[in-house]
Amino acid sequence: MMGRMSSKSTAKRADALRSIDSIVQAAADCLGRNPEASLSEIARAAGVGRVTLYAHFASRAEVVDAAMTRALDRGDEALESVDLTGDPRLALARYVEAGWHLVDQAQALLAAAQRELTEARIRELHAGPAARVETLVTRGRAEGVFRTDLPISWLVNVLHTIMHSATEEIRAGRLTSDHAAAQITATVLAAFTPPGTPVPDQGLRATTP
């Protein structure tokens, strides 16, 4: 009897986990295409009913939060494989190259998050990537290649801000996706250079004006 009940509730729990997982995946997909995707669309894409969706998520904000959390967890796993050792300036260029693709792919989802979640929550969800940059900036400062006259938190924010602003420039038709990583890197490396020392030349081709 106990055995049957417990295996029944185990099965129910497994069902619930599968439903939640399908909803979060569908939310990441749908909101990743269209930040205004409705909860009905998301439920349909997940192959569950609206009632099931509402059984697991109290609001649209909770669905967006779960989709954002998944995207950032996956993104942070991808960043894990980026080599951030060696010359901090070259490590930064590699981080931007990898991070930019993640930001570019997650644009629509981030737009949904900016409507539904607080600035503080979005910042909290970025804690993983922010910690990676913080470690790199700290090392670059210790090695004398990044500036120490501005707070570390400010430099981390400058990098992420400029990365995100590139998506706006692309939407405005003033930047192409294939030039973005090089422009972001050139800008951020200069912004991080200690006053009195020369801005590194990354051998970018001229894109004037």
152 counts as binding a second copy under rule CB under 8 A: yes
Q: Pick from 82, 98, 150, 170: which binds a second copy (CB under 8 A)?
A: 150
CA separation for the pair 70, 72 (Å, rounded): 5
User: Going residue by residue from 88 to 117, which x/- string records binding to a second copy, judged by CB under 8 A?
Assistant: --------------------------xx--
165 counts as binding a second copy under rule CB under 8 A: yes
Q: How far is the CB of 190 from a second copy (least distance, A)?
A: 5
127 counts as binding a second copy under rule CB under 8 A: no
Angstrom distances, CA of residue 192 to CA of 41, 106, 158? 44, 26, 9
Q: How far is the CB of 142 from a second copy (least distance, A)?
A: 11
Contact 147, 113 (CB under 8 A): no
191 counts as binding a second copy under rule CB under 8 A: yes
Q: Pick from 87, 120, 126, 170: which binds a second copy (CB under 8 A)?
A: 120
Radius of gyration of the chain, Cα coordinates, nearest whole angstrom: 21
CA angle 42, 46, 48 (to 5 degrees): 100
Residue 57 vs 192, nearer CB to a second copy: 192
What DSSP state is assigned to residue 62?
H
- List of residues 6+ apart from 181 with CB closer than 8 A: 96, 97, 100, 101
Q: How far is the CB of 200 from a second copy (least distance, A)?
A: 7
Residue 7 vs 118, nearer CB to a second copy: 118
| Tokens read off for 205 | 């081709």
190 counts as binding a second copy under rule CB under 8 A: yes
Q: How far is the CB of 189 from a second copy (least distance, A)?
A: 9
187 counts as binding a second copy under rule CB under 8 A: yes
Q: Pick from 17, 127, 131, 199: which binds a second copy (CB under 8 A)?
A: 199
Burial 151-181 (b: 16+ CB within 10 A, else e): eeeebbebbbebbeebbeebeeeebeeeebb
8: left (phi over 0), alpha (psi -120 to 50) or beta: alpha
For a second copy, the binding residues (CB under 8 A) are 114-115, 119-120, 123, 147-154, 157-158, 161-162, 165, 168-169, 171-172, 174-175, 183, 186-188, 190-202, 204, 206-209
